[in-house]
A and B are shown apart, each in its own frame.
Chain A
Amino acid sequence: MTALLSVKELTISFPVGGVSLLPRRRRVIQAVQDVSFDIAPGETLALVGESGCGKTTAGRATAGLYKAPKGTVSFRGQDIFNLPRASRKPVRRAIQMVFQDPFSSLDPRMTVFEILSEPLKINRMGSAREIRERVQDLIGQVGLPADSLNRYPHEFSGGQRQRIAIARALAPEPELIVADEPLSALDVSVQSQVLNLLGALKRERGLSYLFISHDLAAVHHIADRVAVMYLGRLVEIAGRDALFANPRHPYTQGLLAAVPRIGQGRRKRTLIAGDLPSPLAVPSGCAFHPRCPLAQEICRRERPELKTHSDVAHLTACHFAERKEAA
């Protein structure tokens, strides 16, 4: 498998001051720590986890939105943080983003045509006429009415706006789309429409996705592989079916058990106790140990490596990943 995108030991930290009137001693949040993953051409990798786990930060770094963090992100073998001038534009073009909120991610003063043609103009992709034709193609592909071009974003519903955002991401013909919670601002019946659109684009164009989401049912629908993050680190990464059928990390197990499902009725839930710890005070050893039902002394002392166990494609960062019974 030659990777389209390869992320190696990505580490990103932010200084935090909090809301204060003084520049105080800089504290640092380790938003993403030592995260590595690959995405193959045509593959969808889902990055899941709860708020504050670093999935959004990791996704944005992948799209080149932060300057030179620690670690590398390479696209077709080229490190995207150290690109020679000539290949900057083509690589930037090849990775596009779709954001969570279709209400704030589109410039309200631009018409749909302007929004969609801008990336084409920036990348000098054809004459004015060719651009017009391409834009017309695009709105057809994402299922927007043909008369949308001269209208402004506020004239569209949330689902339609997300289609516009997807069309904008598609415009420069990317190979990878980083989609950050693209469904969570949408109504239930619209979510399935957008999921279908993403699936169709993947099949027709061989697109790869980095699909960032907290919605495990949607992830199960669209992803080929799933990576689970907890407090900035990957705790488990595996093929979709392996992960959902046989989660090894107790956090993944808890997460899956917490997903509400239709047809279970009022049930006794297996709960992960406690709150997410603050990213400013990450627990020692395995960061999950204060909430973990399996925790032992070693978990407090030693951080488990993310490594394969019986199945080579299934990596887990847990001292007890090999245990016979799932908790």
Chain B
Amino acid sequence: MRSNRLESEPGPSRLASPLALEVDGLSVDFSSHEGNKRVVDGVSYAIARGQTLGVVGESGCGKSMTALALLGLVPKQGCVTGRISVSGQGLSEIAIDEWPEIRGKRIAMVFQEPMTALNPAMRIGDQIAEVLHLHEGLSWKEARERAVEELRLVGIPSPAERANAYPHQLSGGMRQRVVIAMALACRPDVLIADEPTTALDVTIQAQILELMQRLQDEIGMAVQFISHNLAVVSEIADDVIVMYAGQIVERASADELFSNPLHPYTQGLIATLPKIENRQDELPVIPGMVPRLDGTLKGCRFAGRCVKADSECHALIPVLRSISPGHDVACHKVRP
């Protein structure tokens, strides 16, 4: 049922280009002696080639776990259900030992902390060469030569010498470029970037965002850009989904979402940000905290913090439905 809706998703670019990534009803459960915790709950979305989907939410909303599920890297205790396809190939059916062939080749990932994401005891050229050696069948020598080219592509000065450097000899921004080079070396269909600029300084963040946009234009991969920073997402994403407590609560194009947010949580998130162009003495706040996901929760997961919530919200789970073309919201109080 959900996949039907995905295919009927409007937007000219959507129809024209094939979908690089389709996620349908993805859920991740963790069960422990304290009971079942559903940290990702029935998440569905799609990204077309050359497009960027921004995923926004606070810590614990399930955005990073969604990313790990796409790579088959959810910790062993977790149970993943739902359908994932990359350029039409379903990944849900594949065996565990086929996953390494997908990772780094079809779907690649850039992580938050460039300081710790690289192997400290391995030259950066070798770390990039490893991906090419694993997936492209290149000899180590050929792979090392290609690695230098990849370093050049991400704008690292004198790449041939830098290939012999160890990660600790590079700045944070340079390391993140190396991580990006590593992720894109095999020209994957989908790049998942999990808070890729959060650990960086603003001027370096701007450089990395610029780099990611340029590479996307050149390579044409689909990008899933995960961030808690709404402003960064508004600058880089074509479409945005907002996640709260494991669920998608709102989805729209970036322009639409930031100019006309409909879900009370999205509205709250945007309102709480201090804005340089419009200073207020008192910032609006979202009261309360993210609820515990222990399965006892009924109704809308945001109801406890929502000013508009009534008895309906506490009793019934709102479904994500289209409010206007291309704008879906999961809220009882928002009607077409």
Contact = CB atoms under 8 A, between A and B. Distances in A.
Do the two chains touch directly in the complex (Cβ atoms below 8 Å apart)? Answer: yes
Contact of A259 (B172, B202, B284): B202
A187 B272 CA distance: 11
B210 A271 contact: yes
- Secondary structure type dominating chain B contacts: helix
Contact of B203 (A159, A192, A254, A263): A254
A94 interface: no
Interface string A44-70: 000000110000000000000000000
B283 A196 contact: yes
A259 B57 CA distance: 20
A220 B276 CA distance: 6
Which of A193, A221, A254 has most B Cβ within 10 Å? A221
Given A51-B201, A258-B203, A269 B210 contact: yes
A188 B202 contact: no
B276 A258 contact: no
B282 A275 contact: no
Interface string B251-271: 000110011000000001110
A238 B202 CA distance: 20
Contacts of A256: 276
B308 interface: no
A272 interface: yes
A221 B285 contact: no
A255 B202 contact: yes
Given A217-B273, A276-B201, A269 B259 contact: no
B202 A196 contact: no
A214 B200 CA distance: 10
A214 B210 CA distance: 20
Interface in B206-253: 206-207, 209-210, 213, 228-232, 234-236
Interface in A264-278: 264-267, 269, 271-273, 275-276
Interface in A254-303: 254-267, 269, 271-273, 275-276
B33 to A, nearest CB: 20
Contacts of A261: 231, 234-235, 275-277
A265 B255 contact: yes
Contact of A191 (B171, B207, B209, B272): B272
Contact of B272 (A189, A199, A220): A189
A199 B276 contact: no
7 nearest A-B pairs in the assembled complex, by CB-CB distance: A221-B274, A192-B272, A260-B231, A50-B201, A258-B206, A192-B283, A189-B286
Interface of B: 58-59, 171-174, 201-207, 209-210, 213, 228-232, 234-236, 254-255, 258-259, 268-270, 272-277, 279-286, 289
27 contacts: A50-B201, A50-B204, A51-B172, A157-B289, A159-B289, A187-B228, A188-B230, A188-B269, A189-B58, A189-B285, A192-B284, A195-B274, A196-B283, A216-B202, A221-B274, A258-B206, A259-B202, A259-B276, A261-B231, A261-B235, A262-B270, A262-B273, A263-B259, A265-B235, A266-B236, A273-B207, A276-B171
